[in-house]
Amino acid sequence: MTEAHGPGIAALPDGADVVIVGGGHNALTAAAYLARAGRSVVLLEAADHVGGAAVSQRPFDGVDARLSRYSYLVSLLPRQVARDLGLDLTLVRRRYSSYTPDPGDPSRGLLVDGEADDDARRAAFDRVGAGDDVAAWTEWYDAVGLLARAIAPTLTQPLPARDDVAADLARAGGDAGRAIWRDVVERPIGEAIERRFRSDLVRGVVATDALIGTFADLDSDLAANRCYLYHVIGGGTGDWDVPVGGMGAVSGALAAAARDGGAQLVTSARVSAVTPGVR
């Protein structure tokens, strides 16, 4: 039995096979799949809109530009989910993934350009005195690509055994595959970042993907490694794409798929108790 309060509960049906608490993008995805599998689904969202942290707003009066409000880039949405649910969604590849000013000389900084060829990358690293790290950067991200291609498909599969993924990676990448598995999966990632790169600025850029949004640290355990993996495996490339219309377009497409499948999405309904086993 699920108890909810708020204006939305007037819309509650008598019963359902599945009640989903919350209406973020994960809940919407579950609602869409379950509804398409023939279950009767009711989703209860406390706010007056669905989407959770994946929502857009129009910040400029009179301008129909919808921008992401919190979460803003898409990488971990498996393309299979988009295909299965027929999501009407346009994702645009970003060219520049970061610009990091040099704390010692803020007039210069490291621009990471996804379209840079070898010469342009060397020039970018030279500008911050990190030319010695170009080869290590290329080697690291080539190996991270191997890791991404080994792990990304498993996101939509039954959880594989760790040793099986490691063996796949070793088959695909040989010594480089074994080394990146050790550096990113088995040892605190700070060890590899310090060993492989010389410039603190470059180390910081690499480490950002391991630390962002966490209170983890690079050296004591594997929490930062987990954060790093989530940031570099999406789609098998680690690219982070911009959704046209902001993240609300993602949630909107998922909500449409859920409704089309027959799920009932109820907003302004905060769940206050769930009693297992009681209908």
Ligand X SMILES: Cc1cc2nc3c(=O)[nH]c(=O)nc-3n(C[C@H](O)[C@H](O)[C@H](O)COP(=O)(O)OP(=O)(O)OC[C@H]3O[C@@H](n4cnc5c(N)ncnc54)[C@H](O)[C@@H]3O)c2cc1C
Binding residues (CB under 6 A) for ligand X: these are: 21-27, 44-47, 52-54, 70-73, 76, 270-271
Classify residue 246 by burial, with Cβ atoms within 10 Å: 0-12, 13-18, 19+: buried
Residue 155 beta carbon to ligand X: minimum distance, rounded to whole angstroms = 13
Looking at residue 51, the DSSP 8-state letter turns out to be B
Alpha-carbon gap, residue 88 to 139, rounded angstroms:
37
Looking at the Cβ atoms of 62 and 215, the one nearer to ligand X is 215
Residue 27 beta carbon to ligand X: minimum distance, rounded to whole angstroms = 5
Phi, psi (5° rounding) for residue 63? -115, 125
DSSP letter string, 201-239? HHHHHHHHHHHTTS---TTTSSHHHHHHHHHH-GGGTT-
189 contacts 225 by C-beta, under 8 angstroms: yes
Residue 171 beta carbon to ligand X: minimum distance, rounded to whole angstroms = 30
Looking at the Cβ atoms of 179 and 249, the one nearer to ligand X is 249
Looking at the Cβ atoms of 106 and 213, the one nearer to ligand X is 213
Alpha-carbon gap, residue 110 to 258, rounded angstroms:
43
Residue 111 beta carbon to ligand X: minimum distance, rounded to whole angstroms = 20
Looking at the Cβ atoms of 45 and 183, the one nearer to ligand X is 45
Looking at the Cβ atoms of 90 and 220, the one nearer to ligand X is 90
SS3 17: coil
Residue 80 beta carbon to ligand X: minimum distance, rounded to whole angstroms = 17
